[in-house]
Amino acid sequence: MKTYSIALIPGDGIGRDVTDAAWSVLQVAAKTCGFALNGTEFPWSCEFYRKTGRMMPEDGIETLRTFDAILLGAVGWPAEVPDAVSLHGLLLPIRKAFVQYANIRPHRLLPGVQGPLRAEAFDILCIRENTEGEYSGAGGRVHQGTNDEVAVETSIFTRTGVERILRFGFEQARSRRGKLASVTKSNAQKYSMVFWDEITDRLSAEFPDVEVSSYHIDAMAARMVMAPESLDVVVASNLFGDILTDLGAAIQGGLGFAASANINPRRDAPSMFEPVHGSAPDIAGLGIANPIAAIWSGAMMLDHLGEKDAAARIIAAMETATARGIGISPGKDRTETITAGIIAALS
Ligand code: IPM
Ligand code: MN
């Protein structure tokens, strides 16, 4: 039987609950479709940091490299470890080290889910550059603690990085409704963002079947609220994509529904699948986290691994469950009720 080895990193807070939920749904789908998922759990988290002084062991990246994929819950427990420490010690290094340059985030209303907008239907695929740009980590502070203190943080946009994410966006658009929206702020940022626009224009010649529009980030934020149905694939830099995908989560009914995949399209290192939401300390341990974002991310993992049928079955089961009213009112259904509802719809 085909067996995939999956690294499980539940992380902090509700990350544990939703990873357990996703894992049990994935196991049922695997069994139905005749393959096996072999999970190895890593306790890397803020608790691990408290015990060891690190978010993951020194050879953590090398350990993860041997897996087919990584399923991650959430990272962060700001009451005890500053976010800038926990995220730079676990989540962000994995995205970079494994060249997971495409962060894919689908935004659409599941059946039965009432979003905050008048729009009844939209289907947006946000593609966020995931390894460079505003998250490059190039910078420093001088004269720290004095009145002369200076903090510098430089965005880095490379031709390789911009070209590959845009190309990925064009290819996704080609496989969907043929529309690509490229997001920049080239009216104000005249180097990096003009560079991005130029590359978009140049690549569009290679994809004559894709209709391309360029938007500034501010206008895109408004469009996602006012006319989300006009959008298909949206591609943006790391920070812009980060912000737009929380907006995307909001218009699809909340962070409990927002799934994401950190993809290494070259497939020379594992990709990582995680819900967009964080560890939600306010509801951690209450058993009321919505596992749908994590389950949907798990389906994206199976799709990436080539198990298309299993992935489609999970998505369909999720839709059946939400159409039945399960998991659609945040905080109402318990995590285990939603998980059981999806598993029931799977079989
Ligand atoms: C996300 C998160 C992360 C990001 C944080 C936790 C560093 O907000 O995945 O969207 O900004 O990438
Ligand atoms: Mn975010």
Q: How far is the CA of 40 from the centre of ligand 2 (A)?
A: 26
Whether ligand 1 lies within 6 angstroms of the CB of 217 is answered as: no
Q: What is the mean pLDDT of residues 122-146?
A: 97
pLDDT tens digits for range 186-225: 999 999 999 999 999 999 999 999 999 999 999 999 999 9
pLDDT higher than 90, residue 347? no
Q: What is the mean pLDDT of residues 6-15?
A: 98
Which domains, and CATH codes, for the chain? 1-103+254-347 (3.40.718.10), 116-238 (3.40.50)
Residue 29 to residues 10, 60, 265, 295: CA-CA distances in angstroms?
Answer: 20, 29, 24, 11
Whether ligand 1 lies within 6 angstroms of the CB of 274 is answered as: no
pTM for the whole thing?
0.98
How high is the mean pLDDT of the chain?
97
Burial class of residue 123 in the structure, from the number of CB atoms within 10 Å of its CB (0-12 exposed, 13-18 middle, 19+ buried): middle
Q: How far is the CA of 132 from the centre of ligand 1 (A)?
A: 13
Of 85, 235, 220, nearest to 164 (Cα)? Answer: 235
Whether ligand 1 lies within 6 angstroms of the CB of 249 is answered as: no
Whether ligand 1 lies within 6 angstroms of the CB of 87 is answered as: yes
Whether ligand 1 lies within 6 angstroms of the CB of 37 is answered as: no
Q: How far is the CA of 275 from the centre of ligand 2 (A)?
A: 10
pLDDT higher than 90, residue 330? no
Supply the pLDDT for residue 2.
97
pLDDT tens digits for range 60-81: 999 999 999 999 999 999 999 9
Question: What does the angle CA 200 – CA 133 – CA 246 come to, to the nearest 5 degrees?
Answer: 90
Q: How far is the CA of 242 from the centre of ligand 2 (A)?
A: 5
Task: State how far the Cα of 209 lies from the Cα of 204, in Å rounded to an integer.
Answer: 9
Give the closest residue (by CA) to ligand 1 atom 9: 276
Q: How far is the CA of 78 from the centre of ligand 1 (A)?
A: 14
Q: How far is the CA of 35 from the centre of ligand 2 (A)?
A: 33
Instruction: Report the percentage of the chain scoring pLDDT > 70.
Output: 100
Residue recorded with tokens 């985030």: 105
Whether ligand 1 lies within 6 angstroms of the CB of 276 is answered as: yes
Whether ligand 1 lies within 6 angstroms of the CB of 283 is answered as: no
Give the closest residue (by CA) to ligand 1 atom 11: 242
Q: How far is the CA of 3 from the centre of ligand 1 (A)?
A: 30
Give the closest residue (by CA) to ligand 1 atom 6: 87
Q: What is the torsion angle, in degrees rounded to the nearest 10, for the CA atoms of residue 77, residue 78, residue 82 and residue 86?
A: 20
Task: State how far the Cα of 293 lies from the Cα of 330, in Å rounded to an integer.
Answer: 12
Ligand 1: residue of 81, 87, 297 to mutate (most ligand atoms within 8 A of CB) is: 87
Whether ligand 1 lies within 6 angstroms of the CB of 242 is answered as: yes
Q: What is the mean pLDDT of residues 12-34?
A: 98
Q: How far is the CA of 186 from the centre of ligand 2 (A)?
A: 22
Q: Write out the two tokens for 82.
A: 């500053």
Supply the pLDDT for residue 235.
98
Ligand 1 atom closest to 245 (CA): 10
> E strands, 85-202, where?
102-108, 123-129, 133-142, 150-156, 179-184
Q: How far is the CA of 248 from the centre of ligand 2 (A)?
A: 11
pLDDT tens digits for range 259-285: 999 999 999 999 999 999 999 999 999
Give the closest residue (by CA) to ligand 1 atom 4: 242
Ligand 1 atom closest to 260 (CA): 9
